[in-house]
Amino acid sequence: MGSNGLIDTVKSKAQVWLTDSYDEETRAQVQAMLDNEDSTELIESFYKDLEFGTGGLRGIMGTGTNRMNKYTVGAATQGLSNYLKKEFENLDQIKVVIGHDCRNNSRKFAEISADIFSANGIKVYLFDDLRPTPEVSYAIRKLGCQSGVILTASHNPKEYNGYKAYWDDGAQMITPHDKNTIAEVNKIRNASEIKFKGNKDLIEIIGKEIDDQYIKDLTTISLSKEAIRRHHDLKIVYTPIHGTGVRLVPAALRAFGFTNIINVPEQDVVSGDFPTVISPNPEEPAALALAVAKAKETDAELVLASDPDADRVGAAVKNEAGEWILLNGNQTALLFVYYLITRWKELGKIKGQEYIVKTIVSTETIRTIAELNGVEMYDVYTGFKWIADVMKKNEGKKSYIGGGEESYGFLCEDFVRDKDAVSACAILAEMTAWAKDQGLSLYQLLLQIYVKYGYSKEEGISVVKKGKSGAEEIEAMMKHYRENPLTEIAGSKVTLMHDYTSLKGYSFLDNETITLDMPTTSNVLQYFTEDRTKVSIRPSGTEPKIKFYCEVHFPVKSLEDIPEAEEKAKEKINQIKQSLGI
């Protein structure tokens, strides 16, 4: 579409927002965009409609079809209502749960959603205040609901908000439900079709009783109660980074038996402006800086952090030199998988039907741990809904040990179907107590895993490309990689390539095309080389960026070999970046 065609299209879409179906403030904002000689804001606000990605509906807050506002949230809720009424037409009462995080407008959007669901005759359980995302997943299952929504943009910057939709299993929607919901949403072309006037008789406020049940159920997954009793006063610094974790993570740690939880007062302040950080992302060292400073001040042994909706966990530990280092998502996943499998075996819980799940871009060392311990492993796409899909298919047949992804998400329990920082924080603390029983710190435990299963280093590189032009650049980059497939990466020959868009792969060793067994397609390219290097390339489903995941392996025979392996790995990853031109 040419520039004139695009302008005509966005103006046509914007004109709809000038009708009486939209409030006066919205109409004024749209008119100002139309009157502005610079059409950039108009284009960015209306050039497309927000769509469900790996994290649901997510975007910058503002006016327009490509923005998070009462009308895009309203259309999503009306569309979901329409779909629920079709899918569950035989039920006397359809029920949903609604939660929200700390973000600006999250409570407002949650209440608007509650009104719309109830106006459509759907029973709503609305949390009384902000709550972690995993608790919404838990409540859907606990209350026997058909769907649920949480208003959150996870770890995105403060200008974002989002709308995550769940199905009756407590998991984020996948095909066909996500596509069918979007089809219903797309039928709504005007705000007049959205039922904004709620039915208060169908809205029930929930809170503490669900919190108490959730935490009580979480304590059932504890595997090392004796170790906790011995080390209950372990010094743990925890920060919610201004988010929902402030409500339940300290409570869960106490319920597990930990008595020495140290807060970071500046970050206990609930705020959608995230005043102490640039980005409320536990992947970012700056987000944990205050917590690490508190740990140094108090001589703590563990730092834990959760993102604004408390589904992703970050951790910092002391290394051999007593310096605080941040664990990355692959390292925490390794620790979880190793600890859970080890304890399940020690407790006699391994019967031959157990499994773990990881995402295709997460470290292959997880596979090694699983295989050498006789535990089945599933590889799934990025997005926790795919882990939940495996759990659903295996329910009643196999036993779920745990599952996670490199992007700081892990799930230790099977009664929640989304990543859970509340349980992850508790199990990381428990793991620290268990390691202490063996005379090890958590960092030393990680080194022991490397010696036993091989050293691996992973690094993610994100290239940000904002707006419409950025989306086009990302598309062109993926096209280039497909049309010019890599045959060598950092001096090592490519032996296997996977293209999840076509669900085809190619083995260079056998000179044959292979079919990839996945539930649907995904815009991901993946390469494996002779020296066990793995490189994955994918556009983000929730942010304006293209992501490169690099993983390298080096054998180590003892702890003394690890520093050399670390240096070789850093050098290798730099060579990979050069090979990829990033």
Residues involved in catalysis = 154
Residue 393's Cβ-count burial label (10 Å; 0-12, 13-18, 19+) is: exposed
Which is nearest to 359 in space by CA: 549, 136, 138, 134?
549
- The two three-digit tokens of residue 441, written as one number: 């710190």
CA 121 to chain centre: 31
- Per the structure block, which two tokens stand in for 33? 């965009």
Identify which of 363, 258, 244 has the alpha carbon closest to the alpha carbon of residue 308.
Answer: 244
Rounded to whole angstroms, the Cα distance separating 524 from 502 reads: 10
Which are the contacts of 46, defined by CB distance < 8 A and separation ≥ 6?
10, 13, 14, 64, 65, 66
**CA–CA distance, 532 with 495 (Å, rounded to integer):** 9
Provide the 10 A C-beta neighbour count for residue 372.
Answer: 11
Does an H or E element contain 124, and which?
Answer: strand 123-127
Query: For residues 252 and 259, what is the distance between their CA atoms, to the nearest angstrom?
Result: 11
Listed residue (193, 136, 192) closest to 167, CA to CA: 136
Closest residue by Cα to residue 175 from 504, 499, 520, 416: 520
Element (H, E) at 245: helix 245-256
Instruction: For residue 235, give Cα distances in angstroms to 241, 272, 300, 318, 558.
Output: 19, 29, 5, 13, 30
What's the maximum distance between 2 C-alpha atoms anywhere in the chain?
72
Residue 126: partners with Cβ closer than 8 Å, 6 or more residues away: 97, 98, 110, 111, 114, 203, 204, 205, 206
Which whole-number Å values give the CA distances from 447 to 295, 327, 335, 356, 560, in the listed order?
A: 22, 12, 10, 22, 10
DSSP character for 16? H
412 and 424 Cβ atoms separated by less than 8 Å: yes
